[in-house]
Each structure stands twice: as structure tokens, then as C-alpha cells.
Structure 1
Amino acid sequence: MKIVVLVKQVPDSGAERSLRADDNTVDRATANNVINEMDEYAIEEALRLKEAHGGEVVILTMGPDKATDSIRKALSMGPDAAVHVVDDALHGSCAIATSKVLAAALAQQNADLIIAGAESTDGRVQVLPHMLAERLGIAALTGARKLTVDGSTLTVERQTDEGYEVVTASTPAVVSVWDTINDPRYPSFKGIMAAKKKPVQTLSLADLGVAASEVGLDGATSAVLEHGKRPPRTGGNTVEDSGDGGVKLVEFLATEKFV
């Protein structure tokens, strides 16, 4: 079984994040960039499937040159190889353009299974797995908290607010996972050293047959028009009870449209 795992490098959600002043895109140059947290669960699930069924695990990343750091970190967990789609024209690409590029790269991989995190911590749109499945003409099993493989049959417990749904499909397919599916392993020293020698294939837009006019800021179907810093936190309202505290509280909640 060949499994491709989508990995995105994102600014650390635990640190201060900002947008660029010139084009309102995420400022990745000055950020502390890391592997998207949900993608680590996708990597772990792929490795467990490989251990159980054999095959290979390939990392696929679309991002700037600095994304190589996250690729090597992902490889240190145990995958066999990686593909890095990098091209200056990709800067500012929207989700639709991103799905077009990734689908073109995936078409070259001939994977049995594609696994992705359910969302990224920078965009949080949760639509990319669906878009990729549509472009590739294969099934999408999304929001998985459990994945079972039996030959060419995939069974997923799809996490919902009320519990879970059981859905099935045949390979090839796209599966997105939540952080409830497993506990990602930590890279060992041996894994970190081995990652330095694992093959990383670099692809440009020309290699994928995608025109530069279809991606980037010029080809985006959505854009951030303006942005500003989060306003500083202010002191809360104090309700003093002089016998009518309950009334004041209800009036405040009504003003804030809670009741």
C-alpha cells in the first residue's frame, strides 16, 4: 500500500502571528514555523498502517524553501520519502488553487491512500480533502477518529458533535483525521539522522503542468482586503448587588444578547 500524507508548514499557533502589510497574507518569513499539528496525527496513522500492512509512506508538501525544515521533521518520524512543491508563483494561493496544485502532484504518485489533517491551524477552512477527492475523482472519508483497512476497503468512524458515523469506501481515497485518532510518536535520534538521507523530490508548477496565472494572488478566488491587530483586552463590567444585582445581571446579559 502506498500512502501519501499531506503536510503543511504553518506559523506556530502558540506564538504571535501576523499578516504581511504589503499583501495581507500570512507572514511566514518572521514566524516560528512548524508542522501543522493535525498533520502529525495523519503521519502517525500512515505509519501505523504501513507497520500493519506494509508498503511505503510519502510526505507531500506545498510551500516555500523554508518548508524543507518541516519536511525533514516529518521524515524523522518514519516516512520513506517526500515531495516538495515549491514555486515563487504559489505565494498567496487560495484553497481552490492549492487543491489544483496538490491534485496534480498526487496524480503523479498513484497512491492507494491519501491522508491529511482535518484542518490547518492557519487557514482552518477544512475543505481541502474534499476538493482533492473531487479533483481526483475518488472518495473522501473526512473527520476520522478511527480508520480501519481491510484489503481495498476503508472503514472510518467520522467524528460528529453527537458521536460518530461509520462510512466506508474503496481505495484509492482521501481520509482526513482529527487529533482523537492516535498519539503521534516522537522522532528518535536514529530517525532524525536517517531523515537527512531520505529522498526529497522537488517539483515546480511547470513540472505539474499548472500555469502560474492559475495560482498565487492573481489567480486567487478570495482575498483579505484589510486587517488590524486584535484590540487590547479591557476590564470587565462589575455588577454590584445592592438588592437588585439579579436585575442588573439580566439587563447586562440582554444588552449582550445572551438572553
Structure 2
Amino acid sequence: MIETNPSAEEFLAMLAHELRNPLAPIRTAIGIIRTCQNDPAVIEWSCQIMERQVQHMTRLLEDLLDVSRITHRQIQLNKENTDLIAVARGSVDALRIVLANKNLNLTTDFAEGPVPIAADVTRIEQIIMNLVLNAAKFTPAGGQIIVGVQPDGDYAVLRVIDNGDGIHPDVLPRIFQLFEQGDRPPARSNGGLGIGLALVQKLVLLHSGTIEARSAGPGQGSEFVVRLPMMPVTPSKTPVVSATT
């Protein structure tokens, strides 16, 4: 008799569910193209559908690969001096259309001055986008998501706040565990394999930072707080003008 691993079986079921979901609209779009070959507008619309679904599958597989790479220490950070506000603003702007299509209100709360950090910009963008998309996943239409960046002593603090479904107290301690779904079965979940937050935590730790999840409970929204070491701001030197006689 072959022994089975319930966790592995659950993950495989979720993986099959997530990879199968995009196939139906792709198949439909292919059928439309075949029957409307003389209508450029319909063909373009169908291509956009397929492109969105392929992007979804690509993000899913890239997240899986990134978790594996980090676990096996195969990721190297390409750190550079950057402004966390500028990175956050770019990430938010890239997601505005996605959130608007979900009828979600996205606002920002950024410090007035720059918040300098030494970081891999691509990975910081990945952290921000995963947190915002996670908030969108569990926030109903008409809800609000706030992305904030503020300095706090020696740290740059990134906050992603939503007024969505919230997190049960029993789930909070394991929210960053790989494949955590908050006890929602795949058929009723809002999508995803439960790898996004695990990946975010691993990327934050690679930057010598911390991440914390907060929620007052179901229906009370949630807040994710990332703290990254902030670079000291070097005061600009005022040129000394020597007096002449």
C-alpha cells in the first residue's frame, strides 16, 4: 500500500486548480479567433485575454521557482542605492489598472522626502506587488488598499493595509508558511497557492529586514508591515566661498 502525504496531495490539488483555471479562457479565445478571422478588433480582444492568462501562469511558476531558488540559496541580490518611495510608487502605478478592474480603491501614504535603502530593486518591487495583490485577493469590490512608506529611526517602513476579509487569529502565526491558505479549500479560495507571502518573507529576510502581519480578526482587514535597514542620509556639503579683498 502506497502511503500518501496529505500536505503534498493538497498542494498538488491547488496547483492543478491554479494551472487549469487560465486554460478555459485561453481555449475560448482560440475558438473565437478561428471563427472571427476577418474581425481585427475581436482578434485583438481575444489575444489580450490569452496574454493576461499566460502572464498569470508565468507569475505563478516564477514564484514557485523563486521559492526553490531561495531555499537552495541560488538567488543573489543585485543591491543598489535607491529610494523606497520611488520603487513603491512605480509598483503601485503598475497595478492601478488591475485594481481598478476589481473596483478597488488604491491610495498611497508616502513620506515627503526620500527614504533611501540599499536593495535589489527588482526584488523590492516583487515584495510590494505580492503584498498589494494579496490584499486585492481578499478585499471585496469597493474596498480600499493603502500603500505607505515612512522612515522610522534606522528603518524604512513599508505598510500595505486593506479593509478586506481579515485574518483569523489562529492563522496569523503561520501566515508566512509555504502553501498556507488560511484553511480555505481550493474550490472556495480566492486563488493562489499560498506561496506569495512565503516568498515575500524570504525576500525581506534576504534584505536583513523583518515582516509582520496584523489583523483584528475576520472581516477586520489586515496590515503587513515590512521594515528594511535605511541608509544614512548624507547631508549635502555647502561649498565654502572664500572672501576676497
TM-score tier after normalising by the smaller chain length? under 0.3
TM-score (norm 2): 0.22
Q: Higher strand share goes to which structure?
A: 1
If asked which structure has higher relative contact order (CA below 8 Å, sep 6+), I would say 1
Structure having the higher helix fraction is 2
Normalising to structure 1: TM-score of the pair?
A: 0.21
